[in-house]
Amino acid sequence: MLFSQIPRTSLLTEPTLLEKAAHFGDTIGHSSLWIKREDVMGLGMGGNKVRSLEFWLGEALEKSCDIVLAAGLPPSNLCRLTAAACCRLNLDCEIIHNAAPSNTNPRRGDSRFLYDLMGVRQIYCGPVDEQARKAFVEERAQELKEQGRNPYILGDPVVGALGYVAAAQELLFQAEQKHIDLRHVFISASAGPTEIGLLFGLRLMGGPDLHVHLVSVEYPAHTFWPIAQEIWQGLCQKLHVTPPLSLQYNTHFYEEYLGPGYAKHSPETWLALRLLARTEGIFLDTTYNAKVFAGLTDLCQKGRLPTDEAVVIFHTGGVPTLLMREE
């Protein structure tokens, strides 16, 4: 078994839904669109990070860690889901935000509201960059060690990617059960763990005709590929297996849907979000998934994607951020 030597804790009890989006498909002129609903999960309003947390927190438990540290901007999905998972596993955690502290009471529509409900501690280290935030987290971990605690710093990209190797296995099995001749998979490309884990799993267990479409929401190609290569190598080592197909074989990377940049929306983002809401009653976040749906729509309309070959689009979650006031 692929994961038999690897620590993992169970946070997802069922496979996520694989739903046909017929009305959306008709509207953009595609006859076989399916959505992998990673936004619908039992824990903490769901999202891709839950799958990674199975392996991150599996490792934390194996190492007998008694406090988990996770860092991100205030609306971070990673932070929200880490807090939720720690509540479920009865693990202590601290969430560190690189933002100015907020003095007001948490209210609905603030990113702090859900942490307040969960009773999880948030620390604000000021509006610094990721490098400085990382240093702050390491200092905090050191401080905790001096107090006799055993902290786990969350976020190793290779460990996180394992969650999406597992998702690839789940998807291939589901497609077979539903008799879908899967030819295209779409997913956002950002820091790497999710999309490279998925790609690795699809290349390991799927057929050679499968095209994987990565829609960048953060980096240009020349920044993305070296990160991707490193995670891919890390997975080969961790799982003691090398996929028969290479990282770039039938993989398509799009920079042109990034718009004004990471987490910045554009008219196309909102068009895609409205279109999916109006045709399927499904909501998207503006940072990741609306850009993927905008890209898919554009490729269909330009005739760059065959309109009768089965497509699965990963909806990675993030919808709670849609309801947050911009801070």
Ligand X SMILES: *Cc1c(COP(=O)(O)O)cnc(C)c1O
Q: Name the site residues for ligand X (rule: CB under 6 A).
A: 47-49, 77-78, 188, 190-195, 285, 288, 316-318
Could you give the C-alpha distances from 12 to 82, 212, 227, 267, in angstroms and in order?
14, 24, 27, 35
Phi, psi of 247 (to 5 degrees): -55, -40
Phi, psi of 273 (to 5 degrees): -60, -45
Q: Cβ of residue 160: shortest distance to ligand X, in angstroms?
A: 7
Compare residues 54 and 195 and give the one whose CB is closer to ligand X.
Answer: 195
Compare residues 9 and 52 and give the one whose CB is closer to ligand X.
Answer: 52
Residue with tokens 């993989």: 251
Q: Cβ of residue 193: shortest distance to ligand X, in angstroms?
A: 4
Compare residues 25 and 318 and give the one whose CB is closer to ligand X.
Answer: 318
Among the listed residues 171, 150, 141, the one whose alpha carbon sits nearest the alpha carbon of residue 60: 150
> Residue 295 has which token pair?
């890209």
Could you give the C-alpha distances from 192 to 7, 129, 130, 200, 259, in angstroms and in order?
21, 19, 16, 11, 19
Q: Cβ of residue 24: shortest distance to ligand X, in angstroms?
A: 19
Q: Cβ of residue 16: shortest distance to ligand X, in angstroms?
A: 13
Q: Cβ of residue 3: shortest distance to ligand X, in angstroms?
A: 18
> Residue 12 has which token pair?
């997802």
Report d(CA 20, CA 17) in Å as an integer: 10
Compare residues 32 and 254 and give the one whose CB is closer to ligand X.
Answer: 254
Compare residues 32 and 83 and give the one whose CB is closer to ligand X.
Answer: 83
Q: Cβ of residue 190: shortest distance to ligand X, in angstroms?
A: 3
Among the listed residues 70, 90, 89, the one whose alpha carbon sits nearest the alpha carbon of residue 80: 70
Give the dihedral sign, CA 252/258/261/265. negative
Q: Cβ of residue 288: shortest distance to ligand X, in angstroms?
A: 4
Compare residues 32 and 165 and give the one whose CB is closer to ligand X.
Answer: 165
Q: Side by side, which strands form the sheet with 121-124?
A: 121-124, 92-97, 67-72, 151-153
Q: Residue 213: helix, strand or coil by DSSP?
A: strand
Nearest position to ligand X, beta carbon: 318
Task: Tell me the DSSP string of 109-123.
Answer: TSTHHHHHHHT-EEE
Q: Please, are residues 290 and 273 in contact by the beta-carbon 8 Å criterion?
A: yes
Q: Cβ of residue 11: shortest distance to ligand X, in angstroms?
A: 15
Report d(CA 262, CA 175) in Å as an integer: 32
Compare residues 32 and 122 and give the one whose CB is closer to ligand X.
Answer: 122
Compare residues 78 and 167 and give the one whose CB is closer to ligand X.
Answer: 78
